[in-house]
A and B are shown apart, each in its own frame.
Chain A
Amino acid sequence: MKKAIITVVGKDTVGIIAAVCTYLAACNVNILDISQTIVHGYFNMMMVVDISALSKPFGEMSEELGRLGEEKIGVQIKCQKEEIFDEMHRI
């Protein structure tokens, strides 16, 4: 299984998770885990997703997610392959 981590940070508003999940479903990405908090009105979310069956190049999805966040929802969305976190935090 190939995993990626999606982080969403920004002002809380209606439909953030819905918009992100709808997009991911369209790309054939399965969501494995979601954790989310709201601190002082700021929305923080981390998703672990399975990208083994991703229907487009990873770079394209990452760019489209960034644009979706910026233009449609008003939040910052970042998508990174899991290895960078594993490498840094696990021996």
Chain B
Amino acid sequence: MINFREVTETNQMIEKENLDVRTITMGISLLDCADPDLGHCCEKIYDRIVKSSCNLVRVGEEISTDFGIPIVNKRISVTPIALVGASCCRTEEDYVQIAKTLDRAAHDVGVNFLGGFSALVSKGMTASDELLIRSIPEALSVTELVCASVNLGSTRTGINMDAVRLMGSIFKETAQKTADRDSLGCAKLVVFCNAPDDNPFMAGAFHGVTEADRVINVGVSGPGVVKTALESMHGKSFAELCETVKKTAFKITRVGMLVAREASKRLDVPFGIVDLSLAPTPAIGDSVADILCEMGLEQAGAPGTTAALALLNDQVKKGGVMASSYVGGLSGAFIPVSEDRGMIHAAECGALTIEKLEAMTCVCSVGLDMIAIPGDTPDTTIAGIIADEMAIGMVNAKTTAVRVIPVIGKGVGETVEFGGLLGHAPIMPVNRYDCSEFVNRGGRIPAPIHSFKN
């Protein structure tokens, strides 16, 4: 039978160390909502989402009460809209119409975010893909809960540089359209290399075409729990450090598994995966950077940071796969800047630069995330930043992403406040040398030699 010490440990994790289930995300296929008539298509999309997920928020809250564990977000991911809208969208405005429909459905079922205003263009863009991408700035400025993502490359296909160049401009335009809100639109926009089909985390969640009609994916979090566990590990060897991270990740993931199983049963929707990511929030004690400091770095960004992060990421995965047979999504450590108090501090004091963050993305689970850059950064420079990150993902056969926010009207040394889970961030300096000739070449970067595995 469960003993006093174990109960106290679990409750201490929840109450003092910010252990929570970050999200229950229901994936919903909209493939059969395609219709040559835009009005009908929107109607079908709205009905499908509301019918499929009307109980999601209530069930999430019930599970939270039953087990005494906070479930922070309830979210929806849908089939990439460029596929669903292909037969009825003739203009950018048509896609904006679908985005508004998604937003209305998300509001009506009470979820926090809806992801899937997406296009998968890793090798080439269809006319529909391009229309959707061009509609993103307007779509994100007139909606509140819709998140957009674009997959620009993969290890198997190489990198679609035409789309990379286009996204450089789309980031800027999105920033301009939401300039009155500190360019917040860009916080809801992310580009990927090797995007997973079952990611429950925003802004990059979408319901891949390899998925069933509906699926429940759960994202767990708990940087604070790992940090606390490492507090007693000062002076110990790497072997002991790794063992501690692994055991902690195991416990966190088991909670996610329980919630996923319950949600799947109560909603009568198949369970997909648990994403065991360490996802920080701006709250005190909920920081990935603090874990790195606990390992022995003065600040995140100090020499040794990449090695520490590699160790952390790997041990989290090793603990997690033991706890759940179906681990997926992004699974690993997230390193967003504005959403992590320790990262913000490191960026403010100059310990952390974009170049160091780029190195860190080689070994962590995602990429350049929630980084505020000067509003006058040229489109081509943003495209260059994206291309670098996509190349890291392509060559290392891992997921990488870029979510940068060119804050219109602000420059280095100023701060931007997004509020809530999105936090605040100092504007970080970007390398000012030009890359326009390179990114303007057009075409694609071929897949790397090690992608030929057949």
Contact = CB atoms under 8 A, between A and B. Distances in A.
B66 A5 contact: no
Contacts of A79: 68
A38 B215 CA distance: 47
B interface majority secondary structure: helix
B66 A78 contact: no
A69 B146 CA distance: 41
A44 B12 CA distance: 13
A7 interface: yes
A46 interface: yes
A7 B258 contact: no
Interface in A53-73: 58-59, 62-63
B257 A82 contact: no
Contacts of B68: 62, 78-80, 84
B9 to A, nearest CB: 8
Contacts of B65: 58-59, 62-63
Contact of B10 (A48, A63, A81, A84): A84
Contacts of A63: 65
A80 B7 CA distance: 10
A59 B63 CA distance: 9
A87 B254 contact: yes
B11 A7 contact: yes
A81 B164 CA distance: 49
B44 interface: no
Nearest to B62: A59
A22 interface: no
Nearest to A5: B7
Contacts of A89: 2, 6, 9-10, 251
Nearest to A80: B68
B69 A84 contact: yes
Given A7-B11, A59-B62, A78-B11, A84 B4 contact: no
A88 interface: yes
B1 interface: yes
B452 interface: no
B306 to A, nearest CB: 31
A87 B255 contact: yes
A82 B66 contact: no
Contact of B6 (A33, A80, A85): A85
B433 interface: no
A4 B82 CA distance: 47
Contacts of A59: 62, 65-66
A35 B1 CA distance: 12
A85 B258 contact: no
B253 to A, nearest CB: 10
B: contact size bracket: 20 to 34
Contacts of B8: 7, 44
Contacts of B255: 84, 87-88
Contacts of B62: 59
Nearest to A48: B1
B249 to A, nearest CB: 12
Contacts of A7: 7-8, 11
A48 B4 CA distance: 10
Interface string A39-53: 000001010100000
Residue from B7, B68, B257 whose CB has the most chain A CB atoms within 10 Å: B7
A86 B6 CA distance: 9
A12 to B, nearest CB: 17
A80 B1 contact: no
Interface in B295-334: none
Contacts of A37: 4
B110 to A, nearest CB: 18
A78 B7 CA distance: 11
B67 A83 contact: yes
Contacts of B67: 80-81, 83-84
A5 B10 CA distance: 12
Interface in B246-281: 251, 254-255, 257-258
A33 B11 contact: no
B2 A80 contact: no
Given A33-B1, A48-B1, A85 B7 contact: yes
B254 to A, nearest CB: 4
A75 to B, nearest CB: 14
- Pick the 4 closest A-B CB pairs, nearest first: A80-B68, A84-B67, A87-B254, A87-B258
25 contacts: A7-B7, A7-B8, A35-B4, A37-B4, A44-B4, A46-B4, A46-B7, A58-B65, A58-B66, A59-B66, A62-B68, A79-B68, A81-B67, A84-B10, A84-B68, A84-B258, A85-B2, A85-B6, A87-B255, A87-B258, A88-B6, A89-B2, A89-B6, A89-B10, A89-B251
Interface of B: 1-2, 4, 6-11, 62, 65-69, 251, 254-255, 257-258
Given A86-B2, A88-B251, 7 more contacts: A7-B7, A35-B4, A63-B65, A80-B66, A81-B67, A89-B10, A89-B251
